[in-house]
Structure 1
Amino acid sequence: MHMNTNSVLIRKMKHTDYEVMAQWLSTKEVLEFYGDVNSPFTLQQVKDKYEPRVNGDIPVIPYIVELDGSPIGFMQQYILNEEKQEEFGYPTNLNVFGIDQFIGYPKLFNKGIGTKMIRIFIEYISQHKDVDIIILDPTASNLRAIKTYEKCGFRKVKKIHDGTSWLMEYKISHR
């Protein structure tokens, strides 16, 4: 059965979101592909990592995904620096953005929510940022995520990180 009642909303992350992030980043199914299963995050570690992002002190912008008004996941965007762009084979005159995301509750996996999140995010970034390409680097074994990304228009470019991840890209069409 397919229900389209779920309203997905993406908003900037706030200081009040650290608790729920700590909960998600202690969930085995989340850490399997985002972080390290053997090192769940404490609340303090979440603060240390995400507070500078929330404050805008570093150029990684964090967001919280809500489903029907409740936080259910995380997304972030950042501009690739020149070294990274060259490492991945992009000319430095292109604006390349990276995105990362996860859904925090395993019971919400495989319901099409990830696809919705990413489509909304692509739309937002391409409208508000000067961007040519959006990239992702999922772990090669994360087939569920890769399938979602392909559904959203990303394509595999090449293996990176010693072959453990795929570099995937989405080209923005400038009309």
Structure 2
Amino acid sequence: MTQVDGPLSFTPLREDDLPLVAVWRGRPHVARWFHGPLDAAQTREKFLPRISGAEPVRVSIVRCAGEPAGYIQEFRVGDMPRVMAALQVDPEARGLDMLIGDAADTGRGLGTRVVREFSDGLLADARVPLVVIAPDVDNGAAIRCYEKAGFAAVRQVPSTFDDRTNLLMERSRPA
């Protein structure tokens, strides 16, 4: 269990982080919403192109009080054609996806802090008009987390990975 009120930091994902990512992706509270677990080979296949910059998704390990607590990934929506088609938002918007690795750390405010602080950083860039996130419509815990972080529900959208339905949520720069 992580000290969830400690300082947060976001460090770029490295290859030596991948075994921990595979462990997190295999945990039931994560696998349920992330299309099942990934083994070591699948984790490398999915994340090495992101680490190298071959894919336009930037992944960061979230550390709380110096301890790895999860990851967050960010992308420019316009760089992801399937996502752009599903969400129909400004192409300069930034999309997020995140997870908390240990189930004992969920429901304690950590996810809200992570999403709020990370999106604050993105919205500090005047070129970024809004930040979006699209949890599964049945993932009530994630939806509540994002609402507490300042995101507002906009509409239901199709998942770009399977036949599920997601809830598009947006957070804009404060006026």
TM-score, length basis structure 1: 0.87
Letter in 1 for 2:167: W
Match of 2:166 in 1: 165
| Structure 1: gaps spanning 5 or more residues | none
Q: Report the Cα distance in structure 2 between the residues aligned to 1:87 and 1:106, rounded to whole angstroms.
A: 30
Match of 1:103 in 2: 100
Structure number with greater Rg is 1
Q: Report the Cα distance in structure 1 between the residues aligned to 2:113 and 2:57, rounded to whole angstroms.
A: 22
Letter in 1 for 2:88: G
Letter in 2 for 1:141: D
Match of 1:113 in 2: 110
Change (3 A) 1:91 1:57: closer
Match of 2:88 in 1: 89
Q: Does 1:134 align with 2:126?
A: no
Letter in 2 for 1:106: A
Report SS of the residue matched to 1:52: helix
Q: Report the Cα distance in structure 2 between the residues aligned to 1:22 and 1:128, rounded to whole angstroms.
A: 32
Change (3 A) 1:9 1:91: closer
Q: State the 1:130 CA deviation.
A: 2.0
Moved over 6 A (4+): none
Answer yes or no: is the 8 Å Cα contact 2:136–2:164 preserved in 1.
no
Q: Report the Cα distance in structure 2 between the residues aligned to 1:111 and 1:59, rounded to whole angstroms.
A: 31
Answer yes or no: is the 8 Å Cα contact 1:8–1:113 preserved in 2.
no
Letter in 1 for 2:34: Y
Change (3 A) 1:7 1:58: same
| Structure 2 counterparts to residues 40-79 of structure 1, below 5 A | 40-79=37-76
Q: Report the Cα distance in structure 1 between the residues aligned to 2:4 and 2:46, rounded to whole angstroms.
A: 34
Q: Report the Cα distance in structure 2 between the residues aligned to 1:166 and 1:139, rounded to whole angstroms.
A: 6
Match of 2:29 in 1: 29
Q: Report the Cα distance in structure 2 between the residues aligned to 1:30 and 1:87, rounded to whole angstroms.
A: 23
Q: Percent identity?
A: 26
Match of 1:11 in 2: 11
Q: State the 1:86 CA deviation.
A: 5.2
Match of 1:20 in 2: 20
TM-score, length basis structure 2: 0.87
Report SS of the residue matched to 1:121: helix
| Structure 2: gaps spanning 5 or more residues | none
Q: Report the Cα distance in structure 2 between the residues aligned to 1:47 and 1:129, rounded to whole angstroms.
A: 34
RMSD of Structure 2 on Structure 1 (CA): 2.0
Report SS of the residue matched to 2:26: coil
Answer yes or no: is the 8 Å Cα contact 1:133–1:169 preserved in 2.
yes
Answer yes or no: is the 8 Å Cα contact 1:115–1:151 preserved in 2.
yes
Answer yes or no: is the 8 Å Cα contact 1:10–1:117 preserved in 2.
no
